[in-house]
Structure formats: C-alpha cells, structure tokens
Amino acid sequence: DIVLTQSPALAVSLGQRATISCRASQSVSTSSYNLMHWYQQKPGQQPKLLIYDASNLASSIPARFSGSGSGTDFTLTINPVQADDIATYYCQQSRELPNTFGAGTKLELK
Amino acid sequence: EVKLVESGGGLVQPGRSLKLSCAASGFSFNDYWMGWVRQAPGKGLEWIGEINQDSSTINYTPSLKDKFTISRDNAQNTLYLQMSKLGSEDTAIYYCARALTSYWYFDFWGPGTMVTVSS
C-alpha cells in the first residue's frame, strides 16, 4: 500500500499562511495526472473535498486554498488563514488500490 | 442537491454481523462509482472500498476483503455495506461517498453512521 505521511499538527496565526505537507512512499503521479487529493474535516462533521488532482480547487472552495506538488511531495496552502479554517486536513492518493489517506494534520491557532 | 444519508449503525456484539445502508438523492445514482470510508474514534480516515455503476467491479482494502461486502441497488438508489465477524477494531463512523472517476476522489460524503462493537 502507498503510505502517506503528514505532520500531526501545525500552529498558525490568523491572517498568516499555512502550509500542510503530504509525502507519499512512492510516486502518485502519471504522465497526465497527479492523483493526490485534499479534504477538510471539522469536529463532528464529514470530510469535505478541497483540492483534487493536486491543484484543482473543488466547487465552492474559497481561493485562499491552493494545492501543489507532483511525484511524492504535495502541499496544501491556506493563505490567509481564517478562523473557519481550523480543522483537520487529510491527503488521499488514488494512484493505486487500495486508495489510502494520510493520518491528518490538525491546524491549530498559535 | 446531492444528498447521501447513512443508516443502520448502532451497538453490536463482537462476532456478529451488521448491514449499513446509504440512501442517495439529488443525482443520477446509477451513473457513479460509490465508496465507503470509516473513521475510528479520534483517528484518521480509512478507505474501505468502492463499487462501480453496475456492480461488476468492486475493490476493497485487502485487510477488510474477507469481512466486508459492498453492494448497491440502483433501483432504490441505495449503497450497502455488509459487515461480518465484527470486532472492537471495527468500532468507527462509517461514511459513504460519491466517487468521481476522472481522478478517483470523493466529491460528496454522507454525515456517517456510528457502529460500536461491544459486549
């Protein structure tokens, strides 16, 4: 299985930039796609799609969210961070079966 | 409006079976792959598996393949997860989700149903 590694937590101040990383144990990119996706989960709620194919913003997601990366290293950026962004963020790869998720990064206020 | 609503969760004894349902509305259910994901209390997300539109292809995470069965009824717009030989490690919130096969991600998720395995 492809293992996705995320830092457990990140502390950030409101209005600042947050950079959340996800590293895959092997490449999740093809010649055409970067099969890494990002979800936001707030306490007591289901996950919500933010970014698909590494850098495509999902419908209705604010432009302060962006994604980048290819191969094994991917990044979710939130700039500027707002209070409503405090949540846990998960990466997911769909390059190989079984699809796998990272353990999540909890975004906290500094 | 796309809507997914899971049901069937609850308290179940170890070793028993349970079948979860996911009612879909607001979209053409038989045009989409669907999947199940679970989350143990305080833990991260675990991909369980997925099923294609006509049930001819079903993929599972290997560790759950012998315990869980995914199925669907397109006439009833419903997705199912049959779980057997349940153990405490299966205690979790179970989410159903709609899959987009352009890049194989989940674009809509249900609110989940809680399954507690305990005697």
Cβ-proximal residues to A23 (8 Å cutoff; 6+ apart), any chain:
A4, A5, A6, A72, A73, A74
B8: contact with A, CB 8 A cutoff:
no
Neighbours of A48 (CB within 10 A): 18
Q: Kindly determine whether residue A46 and residue B112, on different chains, have CB atoms separated by under 8 Å.
A: yes
Q: Hey, what's the torsion of the CAs at B18, B113, A49, A75, to 10 degrees?
A: -80
Tell me how far apart the alpha carbons of residues A64 and B6 are, in angstroms, rounded to a whole number: 32
By Cβ distance, the residue of B105, B107, B111 closest to A46 is B111
Mean pLDDT of chain B: 97
Taking alpha carbons only, the member of B59, B83, B81, B64 closest to residue B72 is B81
Residue B62 with chain A: CB contacts under 8 Å = 1, 98
Residue B21 pLDDT greater than 90, yes or no: yes
- The pLDDT value given to residue B101: 84
Residue A29 with chain B: CB contacts under 8 Å = none
Neighbours of B14 (CB within 10 A): 12
Tell me how far apart the alpha carbons of residues B45 and A20 are, in angstroms, rounded to a whole number: 17
For residues B80 and B23, the answer to whether their CB atoms sit within 8 Å is no
Q: Hey, what's the torsion of the CAs at A47, A49, A55, A60, to 10 degrees?
A: -140
- The pLDDT value given to residue B61: 96
For residues B109 and B3, the answer to whether their CB atoms sit within 8 Å is no
Residue B41 pLDDT greater than 90, yes or no: yes
In chain A, helix, strand, coil percent, each to 5? 5, 50, 50
Residue-wise pLDDT tens digits, B77-105: 999 999 999 999 999 999 999 999 878 89
B73: contact with A, CB 8 A cutoff:
no
By Cβ distance, the residue of B47, B62, B109 closest to A99 is B47
User: How far apart are the CA of A1 and the nearest CA of chain B, in angstroms?
Assistant: 9
Residue B107 with chain A: CB contacts under 8 Å = 49, 52, 58
Cα atoms in the Cβ-side hemisphere of radius 13 Å centred on B116: 5
- The pLDDT value given to residue B102: 78
- Chain A interface residues (partner B, CB cutoff 8 A): 1, 33, 35, 37, 39, 41, 45-49, 52-53, 56, 58, 90, 92, 94, 97-104
Tell me how far apart the alpha carbons of residues B98 and B4 are, in angstroms, rounded to a whole number: 8
Residue-wise pLDDT tens digits, A17-74: 999 999 999 999 999 999 999 999 999 999 999 999 999 999 999 999 999 999 999 9
